[in-house]
Amino acid sequence: MADAERIYEAMKKSIETYDSEAAVAAAEEAVAAGLDLLEAVEKGFANPIRELGESFHRMEIFLPELTMGADAMKAGVEVLEKALDEKGGKIEKKAVVVIGTVEGDIHDIGKSVVATLLHANGYEVHDLGIDLPATRIIEAAESHGADVIALSALLSTTMLYQRDVVELLRNKGLKDKYYVLVGGAPVTQAWADEIGADGYAHDAFEAVQVLDEAVEGRAK
């Protein structure tokens, strides 16, 4: 037990020091010690990365640190996932999310922060990138078996393409299959309502809250 606590502490420290190599080493040690790997994910990586996310929100740390911390977590979790997979287990995800910036819009930062925080909070996230036509977003959602389509737009003009994604989903009879979350500087709750999106978040933290509530609602 003491060994487990020591390893969890090493995992936590790897996140706090943004050290991917240390995260991998600690994860490998957890596997070698025969620890409960699901517990290792939660205590060693998930809790610290959530704390890092909160520090980011309070502006105690900034985007580079959050990105490096998330990279460290990703590297460590990959080790644990591989070991779990070999044993026939897997890490439960809250939901599968595809996320991207819509067509004509090449703004990346806000969308990437949302992707990072969703991943840190237990979502399987597929970041599709920027300037994405509606068809490509929907194809990706289908191929990844997504539950959520998250759409970012930073321009008043390009936010119209969020509507196109929703309309194309309706046209294909897929609208009820996905929870569509929209965000970005010009986007508002009123716009989300107008186009028939399921949720709106004004920042990355709210995106996590909105999806958590949606997932809880689905579970009931």
Partner 1 sequence: MNFKEIAKRCETGPLTESKDFLMKAVAANAMKLTKEYDVSWDGKTFVNTDDEMADRCFQAGKELFTRTGIYSMNSSRVIEFSAEEVDEALRFTPTEVAMGAGKDRVSAHHRQVEDPRKPFVFCGPFNANVHEDMFVRLNEAFGREKIVDCLFFPGYLNEIDGQLVRPTSALATRMAILYGEWSREAVRRAGRPDMPIAGHAVMAPGEIACTNEEWGLRSTDPRAIVLISELQVDDVSMTRLAYYQAYGCPIYMAFTPLIGGYGGNPAGTAVVAVASFIASIMLGGEIVHIGPQHMNYKQQTNQHSLFLASLANQAVARNSNIIATTSHTTSGRPGSAQYAYEFSALALAAVTSGSNVSGPRPAEPLGFNNVSPLMGRLFAEVAHAAAGMTREEAAPIVEALYEKYKDKMDLENAPKGQPFEELYDLATLEPTPEHQAVYDQVKEELIGLGVPLH
- Rounded to the nearest whole angstrom, what is the least distance from the CB of residue 95 to partner 1 in the complex? 25
Question: What is the binding site for partner 1 (CB under 8 A)?
Answer: 56-57, 59, 62-64, 67-68, 103-104, 106-109, 113, 155-158, 160-161, 163-164, 185-186, 188, 190, 202-203
Output phi, psi for 127, to 5 deg: -85, 110
Measure the CA angle with vertex 46, ends 71 and 177; round to 5°: 90
Instruction: Look up tokens 């080493």; give the residue.
Output: 25
Query: How many beta carbons lie within 10 A of that of residue 195, not counting itself?
Result: 19
By C-beta, is 8 or 56 nearer to partner 1?
A: 56
Q: Kindly tell me which of 1 and 59 has the beta carbon lying closer to partner 1.
A: 59
**Burial (Cβ within 10 Å: 0-12, 13-18, ≥19) of residue 21:** exposed
Q: Tell which residue, 60, 50, 40, 62, has the closest CA to residue 15.
A: 50
Instruction: Report the nearest approach of partner 1 to the CB of residue 171 (Å).
Output: 15
Beta-bridge partners for 200: 182
CB 181 to partner 1: min, Å: 18
Question: Would you say 60 or 85 has its CB closer to partner 1?
Answer: 60
Instruction: Name the residue nearer to partner 1 (CB basis): 188 or 215.
Output: 188
CA proximity to 140, closest of 99, 108, 107: 99
Nearer to partner 1 by C-beta: 57 or 93?
Answer: 57
Nearer to partner 1, 30 or 132 (CB): 132
Please identify, using beta-carbon distances, which residue of 23 and 40 lies nearer to partner 1: 23
Q: How far is the CB of 188 from partner 1 (least distance, A)?
A: 6
**Shortest CB 56 distance to partner 1, Å:** 8
Cβ 57 to partner 1 shortest distance, Å:
7
Minimum CB distance to partner 1, residue 155 (Å) = 7
Long-range contacts of 74-79 (CB under 8 A, 24+ apart): 74/119, 75/20, 75/21, 75/23, 75/24, 75/27, 76/11, 76/14, 76/20, 76/23, 76/24, 76/26, 76/27, 76/44, 76/45, 77/27, 77/41, 77/45, 78/27, 79/24, 79/27, 79/28, 79/31
